Amino acid sequence: MTSSLPPLPNPNDLSARRRHRANQRVRLQLGLMVVLGSLIGGLGAIAAHSFLDRASTERSPALTANPAPPAPDVKEPPKTSPNVSNISAAPAVILPEPAALASFSPAAIANALPAESSNSSNSNDPLAQLWTQPVVTAQRQAQRVDIAYQAQSGAIPQQFRGKIIHGGGVTANNKVIALTFDDGPWPETTAAAMNLLKQFGGKGTFFVVGNLVGRYPDLVKRMIAEGHEVANHTWSHRTSYSSPAIAAREIDNTSATIARYTGFGTRIYRPPGGILNNGLVNYARNKGYAILMWSTDTMDWRSRQPEAIRQRVLRSLKPGGIVLMHDGGGPRWATIKALAKLLPELQAKGYRFVTVSELLWIREQERRQAEQNSQGIMTTQAP
């Protein structure tokens, strides 16, 4: 049998031995190049497969792994949620269209108000009018807030402008609580939260991401139509340091977009992540926004256990409380299931679910009442 290997060199032939070693080195280098080429090609194929698989997963309805089974009264539609990572930075400030803001004029609101009840003890006092009428419709809620706006030259009481608010501040027998929802509007879960609030006659405050308002305008319009409040949560959920120019785009553009789609402005701002020292809060305070924090953090942004969310609310429950939850930033079905249990439970304890603006005006009303009582005592005790 003839061998295909080259013949071994003559041990006595020095030049042949050198050629043989050179040939061996060349064959070894060629072999290594083939092996490396195969490895690189294999890694490239794996990377391409991983990318295609990830892209397919993002387009797939099965966005979350191992979703919890839905509660009996909460239906989870199998739809894909948007990707927050695709949210772009805020563009230049969009000025609201005059037609969209016409309904926000205090004079226009005042002219549209129905006559107040003649049996009111102080019918000439806008604040008295504000609290003698029940909140029964979205129009009435907006009118009540704007009566206060007309009386105080702002949508929130003057004492809260530029202030950081954590909750509380009402008497123990005034069982009101503000349920707040961040990072929306979001398909399905925002609507589900509003469905539950409507079922139990409650109002909430939705801190919206400006970039998402234009994507889901019907959800934002529904918030106003059903008496909820829409507040500012920056344009792109920005948490990093922001210069005054960037802060202006993030905050002003969001408020203008809210006004464009709803006809109502906002002077309530919540910093994403609760970060107070990155330039955004400083800008908002200088613009007269109330900086709305919370007295209860449900931690629902990382918890998928409805019972854990529920227990956090119950442990810190108090009149005037502000509860932080999320309706966006991902599929928040654990929050929705916890909310379905909490609403009837809190209602049975005598709590009313109010917007943040209404909570602030309740605090203002109690402050005024305390001042009047104090003045009355001083007048009585004077000689």
Q: What is the DSSP string of 31-97?
A: HHHHHHHHHHHHHHHHHHHHHHHHHHHHHSS--SSSPPPPPTT------PPP-GGGPPPP-SPPPPP
Query: Catalytic annotation on 182?
Result: yes
Give the separation between CA 277 and CA 240, rounded to whole angstroms: 10
What's residue 294's pLDDT? 98
What's residue 11's pLDDT? 58
Counted domains in the chain: 1
What's residue 198's pLDDT? 97
Query: What size, in residues, is the chain?
Result: 383
What's residue 146's pLDDT? 45
The answer to whether position 81 is within a domain reads no
> The domain spanning residue 168 has which CATH number?
3.20.20.370
Query: Catalytic annotation on 13?
Result: no
pTM of the complete model: 0.64
Please tell me which residue in 182, 252, 300, 327 is annotated as part of the active site: 182
Give the separation between CA 290 and CA 165, rounded to whole angstroms: 7
The answer to whether position 314 is within a domain reads yes
3-state secondary structure of 351: coil
Please tell me which residue in 228, 233, 237, 326 is annotated as part of the active site: 326
pLDDT tens track, the chain, 383 positions: 554 555 655 656 667 777 777 777 777 777 777 777 767 766 665 555 444 444 433 333 332 333 333 433 555 544 444 443 344 444 544 433 333 333 333 333 333 333 333 333 333 433 333 333 333 344 444 444 443 343 333 379 999 999 999 998 999 999 999 999 999 999 999 999 999 999 999 999 999 999 999 999 999 999 999 999 999 999 999 999 999 999 999 999 999 999 999 998 899 999 999 999 999 999 999 999 999 999 999 999 998 899 999 999 999 999 999 999 999 998 899 999 999 999 999 999 999 999 999 999 999 999 999 988 888 765 555 54
DSSP strand pairing (268-269 vs 321-326): unpaired
What's residue 148's pLDDT? 39
The answer to whether position 151 is within a domain reads no
The answer to whether position 145 is within a domain reads no
The answer to whether position 213 is within a domain reads yes
- For helices 217-225 and 244-262, the axis angle rounded to 10 degrees is 70
Domain housing 251: 87-115+158-355
The answer to whether position 73 is within a domain reads no
Both structure tokens of 112: 């549209």
The answer to whether position 60 is within a domain reads no
The answer to whether position 364 is within a domain reads no
Helices (H), the chain: 14-59, 98-101, 106-112, 126-132, 138-152, 189-199, 210-213, 217-225, 244-262, 280-286, 306-315, 333-348, 356-381
